């Protein structure tokens, strides 16, 4: 019986060699790595807030809708605003946020002189006070297909250019508070522009102070 089985195996090997189909190991194809699904609850959020010192005749140049086509990058928008008046970046953020609900706070302590006195040696001594100023971004939103529906609230405080006399010979810097916001559909990668203008305080440099916020949401890489 063993001899018959051995002979049969030999016959199979001979036939395989004659037909050119030697037995080979068959490998199962390696499973393809699955790409991580995009995070449906997060988005990349970028925002830059500019402070613009506007001359009185320049107030009509700040139209949020008209600025959107010129806001493809922060640098481009800053150059456009600089043509309207002295411009600088007040705050900037770039990070991933939760669409369910999130909050970003950026703050700093700004020093300013509240009093100046002369010593007996005629040396000038300043009294310094610090004021907490900053910005808070708050988000609530959700995915709507390939894009978003999101509500953004921005509360900001900055030291104003003017001072308020708090005692005889003693002045303190005024703090300006600004609120900006938007609600509704957002298209990934498409900038939006928000504008707030304070025309109540006129200085030697400007007839009004404007705060222009460029913001954009984008997808999070898987």
Q: Reduced to 3 states, what is the DSSP secondary structure of residue 70?
A: helix
Model pLDDT, residue 163:
73
Q: Which domain holds residue 122?
A: 42-218
Q: What is the DSSP code string of 170-218?
A: EEEEEEEEEEEEEEEEE-TT--EEEEEEE-S---SS-SEEEEEEEEEEE
* Residue 13 belongs to some domain of the structure: no
Side-chain half-sphere exposure of 160, counting CA atoms within 13 A: 20
Phi first, then psi: give them for residue 215, nearest 5 degrees: -130, 150
194 located within any domain: yes
Per residue of the chain (222 residues), what is the pLDDT tens digit? 444 444 434 333 333 443 444 443 333 333 333 333 356 788 999 999 999 998 877 666 688 999 999 999 999 999 999 998 999 999 999 999 998 999 999 988 888 777 777 788 778 787 777 888 999 999 999 888 778 899 999 999 988 877 777 666 666 778 889 999 999 999 999 999 999 998 877 766 778 899 999 999 998 766
Would you say residue 4 lies in a domain?
no
Does residue 130 belong to any structural domain of this protein? yes
- The dihedral through the CA atoms of 70, 76, 81, 83 has a sign that is negative
| Continuous segment of H or E residues that includes residue 39 | none
70 within some domain? yes
- As separate numbers, helices (DSSP H) first and strands (DSSP E) second, the chain gives 3, 8
State the CB neighbour count (10 A cutoff) for residue 143: 17
Regarding pTM above 0.85, the answer is: no
Task: Return d(Cα 129, Cα 114) in angstroms, integer.
Answer: 6
Return the closest-CA partner of residue 197 out of 47, 48, 46, 51: 51
Q: Would residue 15 count as lying in a domain?
A: no
Ranges of H-type helices in 40-114: 64-67, 74-82
Does 199 reside within a domain?
A: yes
105 and 134 Cβ atoms separated by less than 8 Å: yes
Domain count, the chain: 1
Q: Retrieve residue 75's tokens.
A: 């640098």
Q: Assess if residue 99 is contained within a domain.
A: yes
């Amino acid at each position: 019986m063993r001899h018959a089985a051995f002979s049969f195996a030999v016959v199979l090997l001979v036939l395989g060699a004659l037909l050119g189909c030697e037995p080979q190991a068959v490998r199962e194809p390696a499973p393809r790595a699955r790409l991580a699904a995009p995070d449906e609850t997060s988005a990349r959020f970028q925002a830059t807030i500019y402070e613009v010192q506007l001359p009185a005749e320049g107030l009509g140049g700040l139209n949020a809708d008209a600025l959107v086509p010129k806001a493809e990058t922060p640098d481009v928008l800053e150059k456009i605003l600089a043509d309207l008046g002295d411009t600088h970046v007040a705050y900037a953020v770039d990070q991933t946020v939760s669409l369910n609900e999130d909050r970003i706070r950026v703050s700093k302590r700004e020093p300013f002189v509240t009093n100046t006195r002369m010593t007996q040696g005629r040396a000038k001594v300043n009294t310094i006070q610090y004021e907490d100023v900053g910005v808070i971004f708050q988000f609530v939103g959700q995915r709507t297909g390939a894009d978003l529906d999101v509500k953004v609230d921005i509360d900001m405080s900055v030291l104003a250019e003017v001072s308020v006399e708090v005692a005889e010979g003693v002045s303190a810097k005024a703090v300006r508070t600004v609120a900006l916001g938007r609600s509704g559909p957002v298209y990934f990668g498409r900038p939006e522009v928000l504008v707030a203008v304070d025309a109540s305080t006129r200085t030697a440099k400007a007839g009004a102070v404007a705060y222009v916020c460029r913001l954009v949401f984008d997808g999070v890489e898987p």
